[in-house]
Structure 1
Amino acid sequence: MDITIEDLGFKLVPSKPQENSNIALIYTRAMLLSRLFILTKLLEFHRSNNSTNFTPMQWLLMQLLQLQIHDEDFWISIASDFYNLDPLCQDELVTEFIKKFQSFVPDQKQLPIAIDESQSAIE
């Protein structure tokens, strides 16, 4: 089950576009941070075990088919840990996770991130 912005206690108001944008940005950053956090942990694990069998395809499938891994959408619970952070702290964490990612796979030019929660976030 996907969670919406309203489920998090936020209410979008048509007459307040800037406030709506700020809420959506915080929500999107939290979703991004959940992906970057788990990706960093997976890469750390595979690096420490000298394993090279974790592929971008596996990462993409893990993001899109999370219910095949767990009976609930674990991205929601992970992202909820990042929702209440100050936006500057969120930005710093994004930068930190990207630097870690680059240190693990310096030749990787792109980072496949799939955020399917955004569909229900705008309903």
Structure 2
Amino acid sequence: MKATSGHFVFDDSFEFKDLEEVFPEILTNFLEETDQMPDDDDVMQMFIFLNVQALRRNEKPEGYNRKGRMRLIFPIGENQFYIKSNNASSEVVRLGEKISKMLSKAGIKHTLEWNALGRPDE
């Protein structure tokens, strides 16, 4: 199976602070698996720190929305986040399933949906 995006959708009881403990592992794995790990460890620690601070305040974190092979996006006003690639690939599916396992292990209920981005012509 190939996909361009994998969406981690949470129910109405979800709060962003629920991700505080597992987010550093998710972000680190995402960057490692996509070969987007910063060269400087201080930069990586800053990414983690800023995102975790937002989660502690129960706010939507930044994720990783920089130009690169894949992005980790927290859309405004939605109880979800997703990974997105410019091309359909089995890498999106593999990484999506890996992140889903991390969320499940952390006790965070979610559903994983593929290619759920709306198109302008729909």
The answer, yes or no, to whether TM exceeds 0.5 is: no
Normalising by structure 2, report the TM-score.
0.32
Where is the helix percentage greater, Structure 1 or Structure 2?
1
* Greater Rg over alpha carbons, structure: 1
Where is the strand percentage greater, Structure 1 or Structure 2?
2
Normalising by structure 1, report the TM-score.
0.32
